[in-house]
Amino acid sequence: MPQSDVKNKGRVYTPRYLVAETLDFAGYVAGEISRKHVMENSCGDGAFLCEIVRIYCEDFLQRQQDTAALAQELEEFIHGIEIEPAEAQKCRENLDAVAAKFGLKNLHWDILTADALSVGKFDGQMDFVVGNPPYVRIHNLENLYDTAKKFSFAQRGMTDLFIVFFELGFRMMKRNGGKMALITPSSWFASKAGIVLRRYISAHENLAGIIDLEHFQAFNAMTYSTISLFTSGEPSRYVKYFTFDGAARCRKFCETLDYADFRVGNEFYFADHATLDFLREVRARDDEPLVRVKNGFATLADKIFVGEFAFSAGTIDVVKSSTGQWRKCIFPYDNAGNAVPLEEIKKKNPQLFAYFLANEERLKNDRDNEDKTNWHLFGRTQAIADVGRKKIAINSLIRDVADIKLVPVPAGCGVYGGLYIVSDLDFENIKKALCSEVFLRYVKSLKNYRSGGYYTFGSRDIELFLNYRLEEMSTTAA
Predicted pLDDT at 152:
87
The pLDDT tens digits for 79-126 are 999 999 999 999 999 999 999 999 999 999 999 999 999 999 999 999
Predicted pLDDT at 220:
63
pLDDT category at 9 given cuts 50, 70, 90 is very low
Partner residues linked to 415 by β-bridges: 319
d(CA 202, CA 413): 46
The pLDDT tens digits for 412-445 are 999 999 999 999 899 999 999 999 999 999 999 9
pLDDT category at 146 given cuts 50, 70, 90 is confident
Predicted pLDDT at 2:
41
Where is average pLDDT lowest: 4-8, 152-156, 191-195, 453-457?
Answer: 4-8
Q: Above 90 in pLDDT, residue 288?
A: no
For the chain, the 3-state helix, strand and coil shares in percent, each to the nearest 5, are 40, 20, 40
Predicted pLDDT at 157:
59
Question: What length does the chain have?
Answer: 478
d(CA 111, CA 89): 9
Strands of 102-224, DSSP E: 110-113, 128-131, 179-185, 207-212
Three-class DSSP labels, 309-321 = CCCCCCEEEEEEC
Predicted pLDDT at 372:
66
Predicted pLDDT at 6:
40
Q: Which of 329, 326, 271 is nearest to 298 (CA)?
A: 329
Q: Which of 438, 210, 409, 408 is nearest to 317 (CA)?
A: 409
The sign one gets for the Cα dihedral 84, 88, 93, 97 is positive
Q: Above 90 in pLDDT, residue 7?
A: no
Q: Which of 184, 164, 275 is nearest to 225 (CA)?
A: 184
Q: What percentage of the chain exceeds 70 in pLDDT?
A: 92
Edge-to-edge order in the sheet of strand 397-398: 397-398, 454-456, 449-450
Mean of the per-residue pLDDT values for the chain?
92
Q: Which of 82, 176, 167, 164 is nearest to 125 (CA)?
A: 176
d(CA 372, CA 259): 51
pTM of structure: 0.88
* 94, 45 Cβ separation under 8 angstroms: yes
The pLDDT tens digits for 466-477 are 999 999 988 776
Predicted pLDDT at 211:
98
- Of 146 and 314, which is predicted with more confidence? 314
- Of 318 and 145, which is predicted with more confidence? 318
Beta-carbon contacts of residue 33 (< 8 Å; ≥ 6 apart) = 55, 56, 59, 128
The pLDDT tens digits for 185-221 are 999 999 998 999 999 999 999 999 999 999 998 876 5
Where is average pLDDT lowest: 67-71, 90-94, 136-140, 474-478?
Answer: 136-140
3 state SS of 278:
helix
DSSP summary character for residue 126 = B
Average pLDDT over residues 276-296: 90
Q: What percentage of the chain exceeds 90 in pLDDT?
A: 82
Angle between helices 85-100 and 47-63 (to 10 degrees): 30
The pLDDT tens digits for 350-392 are 999 999 999 999 998 866 655 667 899 999 999 999 999 999 9
* 378, 293 Cβ separation under 8 angstroms: no
